[in-house]
Chains A and B, each alone.
Chain A
Amino acid sequence: MLHQIIDRRLAGKNKSIGNRERFLRRHKDQIREAVRRAVDGRNIRDLQQGEDIHIPKRDIAEPVFGHAQGGVRETVHPGNQEYMRGDRIERPKGGGGSGSGSGQAGDSGEGDDDFVFHLTKEEFMQVFFDDLALPNLHRTQLAETPEWKSHRAGLTSDGTPNNLHVVRSMRGAIGRRIALGSDSRREIRELEEELEKLLAEPMPSIHGAGHAMRLQAIKDLEDRIEALRARVGRIPYLDPIDLRYRSRVRVPVPTSKAVMFCLMDVSGSMDEARKDLAKRFFILLYLFLTRHYEKIDLVFIRHHTQAQEVDEQNFFHATETGGTVVSSALVLMEEIIKARYPSGDWNIYGAQASDGDNWHHDSGRCRELLAQQILPLCRYFAYVQVAEEEQNLWDEYSQLAKDNGKVFAMRKVTTASNIYPVFRELFKKEGVTA
C-alpha cells in the first residue's frame, strides 16, 4: 500500500510572503500615511519599531453578489424550546443574537472596525526610506573606523619575555619537578632506610667472608643512592615548557560614544512643514549614527535670538517667535561640548537646520565660530537649509564649505525627497575622513 509520512516542518515557511507583499503594495497609500503620522508622533530614538496600521474595512472588501435582507425567507433552526406551529415572533433587531438571520449572517456582519495589522520594523523602515527616496541605506558600504582594544585572554605557552607570567611559570615548574622526581625520591628514601639498618647492625669479624660482603652491600647501596640523587639533580629547575605568558588579543571596538547636536531655528518663519523636513533630516542622521556607535547622546538646541537646550518634545513641537541669531546656538553648542563632551572621548556630530534667515551681522560670526571653535572638535557638521532663497548665512557657510569640505556639508532641502542627496554626501565624506 502506498502511503507515506513526510516531515514538512523544515520546508519553507513564509510561503505567503509574496501575498503579503502584494497586500502591502496594494495599500501603500494608507501605509505611507500611517508611517508619516507615526514619524511625526515618535521620538527620534523610538523610530525603529513596527507600527500597527489601520485600514478601513471597506477598502479591503472584496465584493461579490449576495442577498440583502428582504423578500421571503424560510430558515431552519435547532433547539426549539417553546414554539408551536403558527407562533409569531417579533423580528429581532438587526444583528441581534437570536440568530434568525441565519445562513447569510456572514455577509451582513460588516462592522465599521478597521482591519488592523502590524507592520514589522523592517517594513516600517522600508516605507520610511521609500518616502525619502533613499534606495538602500542598508547596503551602503560605510568606511568603518574601528578602535582596537586589547583584552586579556588567559595564558599562552609562547610570547614575548615582557609578557612572562612568573608566578604561573614557577607554579608549573614545581609541579613538573615533583612529578618527574617522585619515583626516584621514594627509592632513595627506601635505600637510605636499608643502609641505616645495615650500619646499625654489629659488624661481622673483619676476617670473615661476611665482612667483605657487608662492605660490598653498603657500597652498592651508597652507589645506588648517589646515582638516584644525581638523577633527581638533573631535573631542570625551570624548563621552557613551564613558561607561561600573558595573552592579550586585540578586538575591534565600535567607537563607543557619540553625541549628536541638533540645532534648529524655531523663529516665526519656521513653519510645521519646514520643521518636519528638519526632523526627517535629524532622524536620518540619528539612524546613521546608530549603526556606528553603541551609545549616542542627543542634544537639542533651539534658538531664535537666544539659544536654549531643550528636550525633544519641546524641540519639535513648541512654537516660538521672534528674530534670529544663529550664533547663539553655536555658542551654546561649544559650551556644552566643553562642559560635558570632551572631544577626546566623544565623536561629535552637528546637524543644523534653519530657513537661512539670520540677523545679517551675525552670519559672519557664525562662520568664525564654526571654523575656529566647533569644526576642529567635530567629526562632522551638516547644515540643511529648508528654504530656497539664499541669504547671507548661506553665503558665509558656502565659504566655510570651501575651506572645510571634509567635515562640513551644506544643502538645501525643500521636499522630503531632497533629503537623501544631502545624506549621501555625508556618507561620502565619512569615507574620506576615515
Chain B
Amino acid sequence: MSAVLTQPALRAPLPLKERPSQPLEAPSDWSFDLIERYHDVIRATAKRFGLDTYPNQLEIITAEQMMDAYASVGMPVNYRHWSYGKEFISTEKNYRRGHMGLAYEIVINSNPCISYLMEENTMAMQALVIAHAAYGHNSFFKGNYLFRMWTDASSIIDYLVYAKNYVADCEEKHGLDAVENLLDSCHALMNHGVDRYRRPSRKSLADELRQRKDREAYAQLQVNDMWRTLPKKAEKEGDAREIKRFPEEPQENLLYFIEKNAPLLEPWQREVVRIVRKVAQYFYPQRQTQVMNEGWATFWHHHLLNTMYDDGFLSDGMMIEWLKSHTNVVYQPPVGHRAYSGINPYALGFAMYTDIKRICENPTDEDREWFPAIAGADWLPTLDHAMRNFKDESFIGQYLSPNLMREMRLFSIVDDEKEKELEVSAIHDGSGYSRVREALSRQYDLGSREPNIQVWNVNLRGDRSLTLRHTQHNDRPLHDSANEVLKHATRLWGFGVHLESVNSAGEVSKRWSATPPPLP
C-alpha cells in the first residue's frame, strides 16, 4: 500500500515570523525571480495554516500549450483520439475569436502536483494561480478521501504514458480504424465504467506491466470457459430453473463487465477497454467534488493572499488586480439573468467554506441550533475535516446553513411532467431550509444526475445477448441518444444488447435493442 501520510490539522494558524520592511515588487510583468519570491511567501503563509500538499511543480506555458492541455482533458499526455482533436479545434476557434478566455490555470492531480501558469498572465494573476492551484487544489487532492481512495497521484502520469504507447502500438498493429472504433465505443460507456462503491487496488506501473500479460491470458481463459459450448455432462434441454443467472447480481460497471466477460474481444481490445476504464475512474472523484474542490481552492487563494496583504507582503495595486478576477470567478448571476446557467460551483463552494469559518468564529443562535458541533469550534480543524471527509452531495447536506441559503436566496422548483406548471416547493424560510438543502444535495449526487444503468442479464444459452437495465429515478426517461450508445455497446459485446427502462412502479416502460453488424 502506498497510502500517503498526512499531517494532522493545526488548531490555529502559526504566528508570522517577521514582517517585511516593504511589500514585494508588483510590476505587471512577471519574471522567474519574482515568481520564485512570491511562491516562497505563499508557501510560508500556507504552512502557517497547515495546508498539507504534494510537492509543487510550476510550469510556464503558452496559450497554445494551454489549449493542447485543454484538448487532452487537462492531462500532459494522453492517448490519441479524434475527439481530443475536435476539442482542440473548438477551443482554439473560440479563443481566437475572443469568445472565451482560457482558464488561468490547469492543475494536475499528480505527485509532484503540476500547475500550469500561462505566460500571458500578469504577476498578480500568477500569484493568484499559485495560491489557488498549487496550494488550494493541491491540498484538496492530497486530503480528500475520494482522491485518496480512487486516484494514485504518484502513478497517473506514468500510467497515461503507458496508455498512450499502448494505444499507439495497437494502432500500428491493428490499424487506426479498429482502434478508433473501439475507443469510440469505450468513450460512449465511459461514464458507466467506474466503480462507485468498490474500492480499487493500487498498483504501480511496473506491477501493471508485469501483470498485463498474465491477465490477458487468464482473462481469455475465463471467457472461453464461460462460453464453453460443450456441456460438461448431459443436461436436459429447457431445465430453466437450474440455470443460474449471469451475472448473479446486477453490475454497475459496464466497462468492467465487458472487459472481463465480452465473448469476442481480443486481448488487446480488453486492455484498451481497461485503459479507458482506468482513466474514467481517475476522473470520477473530480466529477463528484466540483463544488468542494473549487470552493476550497478559491477560499484558500482568497485567505492566503489577504493574509499576505495584512502581513505587509502585497501592494495595494496587486490586491485590486487579483480581487477583480476573484470577484468575476465567484459571481453568481441570479435566476432569470441573461448569464444564468445554474449554480456556479466556485461561488457556492467559496461561500460555504467562508460560512463554515464564520460559524466557527461568530456563531449566532441559529447556527448553534443547526450546527451544535462546530459552532464556536476552532475553524482550521473544522474546515480541514469538512474538506477531507465529504463529497459535494454530503458536504452540502451537512454544511449548507440557513444563513447562506438566505444570502443566496435559494429556492427549489419541482418540475413534474404530469403537471402543467412548475411548483415552488421550498424557499429560504424556516419551513423550507431543510427541503432546499436536501434538494440541492441531491442535485449534486452523480447517482441521480446520471442515469442508473446496470448489467442485468446475459442470455448464456440462447443468443448470448446482453441485457442492461435502466432504473428510472423519479420516472425520468432516457435521452434518445441511448440508441446510439447501445450500438457502441454491441460493438464491444459482439452480440445483441437490449436496454430496458424500468419506472418507479417496477414495470419496463421502454425497451431498446441493437444487434451487432454482421461479422466481416
Contacts and interface: CB of A to CB of B under 8 A. Distances in A.
B197 interface: no
B476 A74 contact: no
Contacts of B86: 23, 60, 115
Nearest to B84: A19
Question: For the side of the interface on A, what is the size category?
Answer: 35 or more
Contacts of A90: 421-422
Given A74-B415, A84-B427, A79 B336 contact: yes
A105 interface: yes
Contact of B176 (A8, A25, A87): A25
A117 B89 contact: yes
Given A19-B85, A80-B409, A88 B415 contact: no
A21 B476 CA distance: 39
B61 A74 contact: no
A115 to B, nearest CB: 7
Contacts of A24: 85
B332 interface: yes
A7 B117 CA distance: 10
B426 A85 contact: yes
Interface in B222-264: none
B413 A70 contact: no
Contacts of B81: 19, 22
B223 to A, nearest CB: 25
Interface in A103-130: 103-105, 107, 115-118
Interface in A56-74: 60-74
Interface stretch (B198-206, B372-380, B443-451): B443-451
B80 A19 contact: yes
Nearest to B482: A65
A93 interface: no
A5 B58 contact: yes
A116 B94 CA distance: 11
B36 A76 contact: no
Contact of B90 (A69, A89, A115): A115
Contacts of B62: 9, 13
A72 B428 contact: no
A218 B171 CA distance: 107
A74 B126 CA distance: 40
A16 B84 contact: yes
Contacts of A61: 481, 484
Contact of B71 (A19, A25, A116): A19
Interface string A278-314: 0000000000000000000000000000000000000
Interface stretch (A94-102, A247-255, A334-342, A362-370): A94-102
Contact of B422 (A19, A89, A104): A89
Mostly helix, strand, loop or mixed at chain B's interface?
Answer: mixed
A57 to B, nearest CB: 11
Contacts of A83: 411, 424, 427
B277 interface: no
B439 interface: yes
A62 B187 contact: yes
A98 B336 contact: yes
B119 interface: yes
Contacts of A23: 82-83, 85-86, 89
B192 interface: yes
A11 B114 CA distance: 15
A3 interface: yes
A237 to B, nearest CB: 63
Interface of B: 32, 35-36, 39, 43, 55-62, 64-65, 67-68, 71-72, 80-90, 93, 112, 116, 119, 176, 180, 184, 187-192, 332-338, 340-343, 408-417, 420-429, 431-432, 436, 439-440, 442-443, 449-451, 453, 470, 472-482, 484-485, 488
Given A71-B477, A80-B427, 16 more contacts: A2-B112, A3-B58, A5-B35, A13-B68, A14-B64, A14-B68, A23-B85, A64-B481, A66-B481, A68-B480, A70-B475, A76-B343, A78-B408, A78-B409, A79-B333, A81-B334
Complex A-B, nearest 5 residue pairs according to Cβ-Cβ distance, in ascending order: A79-B334, A23-B85, A71-B476, A19-B85, A63-B484
